[in-house]
Structure formats: C-alpha cells, structure tokens
Amino acid sequence: MIKNLKAILTCATAVATLSTVAAVAAVATTAGCADDEAGCPAACPAACPASCPAEAGDAQTPPQGTDAVISAWIAAGSYKGAGWKCEPAVHANRSPSPHGMNKICNNTKLTASVAPGLYEFGTASVKELYMADGTTIAGYATSLKLVDGDSNGSKWYFYEKLAGTVVYNGKGTAANTDLCSGCHTGAGSDAGHSGRDFVYTQVP
C-alpha cells in the first residue's frame, strides 16, 4: 500500500513537472560506465563486459551520455528497425503515465521476455511523445536496463526530452526517488499498475 501510494504521488509529481517542462532544466546527466556498482569498468564502452550494455548504443540499444548522442540515435530511427516492435497507433496515456499522447516501441529483449520473469540487461523501450493532436511529435523518452536481476532505479538509464528541453538524462536512484524511477517502480505493483520490473508496457 505504501509503495503504491509512493508511486502514485511520484507520478502525480511527474505530471506537474511535465506540464511546465519549458521551464525545466536538464537534470541528472550521468556519464561513465553503465553500472559502476555492478563492477563494470570506467573505460566503457570498449572495456565493458558482456553483462553491461555499451554506452555508445547500437541498433538494439539506446546510447547513454549526452543529449546530442541520444538525439542523434533517435533521429536515425534505429528504434523502428529490425527487431523492434511498435504499437500500431498513437494513443492517450495509460494511468498512471504523465506522458499524454504517445506511441511505444520495444526492442527484441523486451518483447521476447516472458512474464513473470525479470527483464535482462539491454532491455530497452522508446516512447514517442506527441502533442494533443496526436500527429505532431513533441519529444521522446527512452529506458534501458543496465544489469540483470532485481531492479531499482540505479539499474536503469532514463532519458526524456520534451519541447526541446531535456527533462531527464541519466541513471535513476537506488531509492527510486528520481522523476523516472519513482514512477516506474510501481509497474506491476497492483491491479492499477500494469507491467513488471519498471516497465508498464510490453508491446505484443
């Protein structure tokens, strides 16, 4: 009950934050390795072990790092390529999402995962964020799981840019107190929160 209330309150805060996004500065930009706590070396991506997604990203993996790098990957359309599955149409946000009109795409690792198991490292999602007309893209959000096993916010990398402003770019916090993981921690927590393991929507 307390966990669900916390997620609801965090999502409510996210709604208020995104409604004034034009005045929001970039926050939580994180450089370095995909997950230092898990033992990944600092010299990523070249020295990253197989259990850590490389920061540079690839056709199946959103990059980590600067807004310019992530925006370039999105603009290239990798998330609409081979192995990705996207929802068939733009739709209104599903509770408790604060994202308004949107369309979600999942990479192979996410779509292939079988409930109720945890998602593996490299699981990724891209959400196209639309204006109220449902046709004009206003921004994007990405999420990427950094390590196998149980999750908290620090095991995920989140990025969101809306109306030209970077709302979030970096790992979440272990206590799930940041804007993104504070909302996503509620996934699968009860009947009102679909999904599991920090992911609300798995594209079939």
DSSP state of 80: G
Alpha-carbon distance values, 57 to 39, 66, 93, 200 (Å): 19, 12, 27, 23
Q: Quick: pLDDT tens for 117-172.
A: 899 999 999 999 999 999 999 999 999 999 888 889 999 999 999 999 999 999 99
At CA 150, angle to CA 34 and CA 158, rounded to 5?
40
pLDDT at 37: 45
pLDDT at 141: 97
Q: Which residue did the predictor score with more confidence, 48 or 2?
A: 48
pTM: 0.78
Q: Quick: pLDDT tens for 108-117.
A: 999 999 999 8
pLDDT band at 15 (very low <50, low <70, confident <90, very high): very low
Q: Quick: pLDDT tens for 21-61.
A: 333 333 333 334 444 444 454 444 455 555 567 788 999 99
Sheet containing 124-130, strands listed edge to edge, beginning at the edge strand earlier in sequence: 85-86, 102-106, 124-130, 137-145, 156-162, 165-171
Q: Quick: pLDDT tens for 90-106.
A: 999 887 778 899 999 99
Q: Rounded to an integer, what distance in angstroms lies between the CA atom of residue 87 and that of residue 91? A: 9
pLDDT at 35: 46
Report how far apart the first and last C-alpha atoms of the chain are (Å, whole number).
29
Q: Rounded to an integer, what distance in angstroms lies between the CA atom of residue 129 and that of residue 122? A: 22
pLDDT at 159: 97
pLDDT at 22: 33
Domain ranges of the chain: 2-30+77-184
